[in-house]
Amino acid sequence: MGLSAVLWWIAIIICAILAVILYLNARKSDLINVKEMLQAKSFGYLCMCILFSLIQVGVLYPEYFLLFYFIGASIAMLSNTLYFYFWEKNLTTMKHIPTIFTGIASVISIGGLIIYIIFPDSVIFSTNILDFIVILLISLAYVFYIYLISRFSKYVRGVSSKVAIIWIGGVLLIYIYFFLEYPPGATVVPSFLVFYIAPILYVISQSMMVYGVITLFPQISSYYAQTQKCAVHRGVIDKGTTVYYCPSCGITYCESCFNQVIKKDGCWNCRHGIEVGIEKEWKTELAIEVKKDFKIKHKSPK
């Protein structure tokens, strides 16, 4: 077994661990849409483990490689479709476009498997063309994925933008992985990048994405799935305007009420401060007020 195979089996094991982590987080979630999405994502990682395992077995048995590859690819694409369906199920913005793209990719993968079984020696059949179409569709689906995360990060305060950057970074690394593993990229880059860097890159990208999903998806789901109302003035917060989330309890505030009321009083629901760019200044202000109250309450009687 070569170093490349060892790296891929390590990647498969790590991928399975990520699937377990997602499933355990799904079990803990009280939000049905978050639970469904995490479960679908967990299932997707297990299916990717199946795909990579079949590819590694196919390398040992070249005469069955394409059969193993198309079986694994069909399973993996179907799981991607399921994930994007639950990702978009409760959203009000994307009209299930990523789900449609990944659904078409699934049909193409299954079609490739059927063609290979019926016409295994057909010269018309081109694996590279099918791979290119499937990868293109998956890439377009992830473009919308990045759009949702970046838009959320732009208009929502009180949640860490660094997590969103890590999440998006993980998605972007997937594009590099596709370039290294599939034509035309795989034909122009040095072979050691394909054999040794690709599995490492895949593990890093998936770990970054899982971190983002677990950390931010409940807030993203809330932001896109329902109308946001300010807890102070009780009015609807218009889409495309800044929303402030309390990192402790998730209560939302509009920008005006946050600046005029919440920065001074703290969260009306849990009384904790909201972590924004001016966190240090705001916490100092609150600390002074608390200290003054403490002195008043414990002032010795004359």
| Mean pLDDT over each residue of the chain, to the nearest integer | 82
7 or 2, greater pLDDT: 7
Question: Which of 31-35, 62-66, 70-74, 207-211 has the weakest average pLDDT?
Answer: 31-35
DSSP 170-226: HHHHHHHHHHHHSTTHHHHS-HHIIIIIHHHHHHHHHHHHHHHHHHHHHHHHHHHHS
Question: Each residue of 269-301: pLDDT tens digit?
Answer: 776 654 444 443 333 333 334 444 444 344 444
Residue 19 has pLDDT above 90, yes or no: yes
Within 10 Å of residue 241's Cβ, how many Cβ atoms? Answer: 11
Residue 180 has pLDDT above 70, yes or no: yes
* Residue 51: per-residue pLDDT: 95
Of 8-22, 23-37, 53-67, 134-148, which one has max mean pLDDT? 8-22
* Residue 259: per-residue pLDDT: 83
Q: Assess contact for 40 and 85: CB atoms under 8 A.
A: yes
* Residue 125: per-residue pLDDT: 60
Cα gap 238→145, rounded to integer Å: 22
Residue owning tokens 């100092």: 284
* Residue 265: per-residue pLDDT: 76
Q: Assess contact for 73 and 109: CB atoms under 8 A.
A: yes
Residue 206 has pLDDT above 90, yes or no: yes
Determine the longest span between alpha carbons in the chain, in angstroms: 101
CATH topology of domain 3-225: Rhopdopsin 7-helix transmembrane proteins (1.20.1070)
Question: Which of 58-62, 137-141, 212-216, 223-227 has the weakest average pLDDT?
Answer: 223-227
pTM of the predicted protein model:
0.74
Q: How many helices (H) and strands (E) does the chain have?
A: 12, 3
Residue 20 has pLDDT above 90, yes or no: yes
How long a stretch of residues is the chain?
302
3-state DSSP call for residue 74? Answer: helix
Question: Each residue of 130-168: pLDDT tens digit?
Answer: 888 999 999 999 998 898 889 888 877 767 788 999 999
Per-residue pLDDT, averaged over 4-32, amounts to 92
Beta partners for residue 65, in sequence order: none
Residues of the chain with CATH 1.20.1070: 3-225
* Residue 139: per-residue pLDDT: 92
197 or 222, greater pLDDT: 197
- For the record, the structure tokens of 193 come out as 């990048």
Residue owning tokens 């009209």: 95
93 or 130, greater pLDDT: 130
Find the helix or strand (DSSP H, E) in which 157 lies. Answer: strand 156-157
Question: Each residue of 95-123: pLDDT tens digit?
Answer: 788 899 999 999 999 998 998 888 877 65
Question: Which of 9-23, 35-49, 143-157, 276-290 has the weakest average pLDDT?
Answer: 276-290
- For the record, the structure tokens of 107 come out as 């049909």
